[in-house]
């Protein structure tokens, strides 16, 4: 399984970015997807998660109402739409996948996720 993130960049506070996670080697339909981020000087944290059958989505409290996770199985790609960005959203964003049925509680557990992308950097200026 290979995951490749794209879509990061520099944006002003209040702006938007859409991150993409292109998955190859497997069919995305069978996989749960999560987005994590690592801010400068901080631990990596879970941001959002979607079940493999789209049976649930989860968002970290600070991004609720601003970020939207989705997937396009035909394109084998997952997305994270980020609106009303804030400087505290700055960091490197990673997507991760697992074929294992994922309960919502595992969205933030990094060891749960089998495969990771290399990350894409998001910088939000004030």
Cβ(93)–Cβ(36) below 8 Å: yes
Q: Are strands 9-12 and 67-72 parallel, antiparallel or unpaired?
A: unpaired
Residue 55, pLDDT score: 85
Coil, strand or helix at 22: strand
Per-residue pLDDT of the chain (126 residues; tens, 9 = 90+): 999 999 999 999 999 999 999 999 999 998 999 999 999 999 999 999 999 888 899 999 999 999 999 999 999 999 999 999 999 999 999 999 999 888 888 999 999 999 999 999 999 999
Residue 12, pLDDT score: 98
């Amino acid at each position: 399984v290979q995951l490749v993130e794209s879509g990061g960049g520099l944006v002003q506070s209040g702006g938007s970015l859409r991150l993409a996670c292109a998955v190859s080697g497997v069919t995305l339909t069978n996989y749960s997807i999560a987005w994590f981020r690592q801010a400068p000087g901080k631990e990596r944290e879970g941001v959002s998660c979607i079940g493999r059958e789209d049976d649930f989505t989860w968002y970290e409290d600070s991004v609720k109402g601003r970020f939207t996770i989705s997937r396009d199985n035909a394109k084998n790609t997952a997305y994270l739409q980020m609106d009303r960005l804030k400087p505290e959203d700055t960091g490197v964003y990673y997507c991760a996948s697992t074929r294992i049925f994922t309960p919502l509680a595992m969205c933030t557990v990094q060891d749960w996720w089998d495969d990771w992308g290399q990350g894409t950097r998001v910088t939000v200026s004030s």
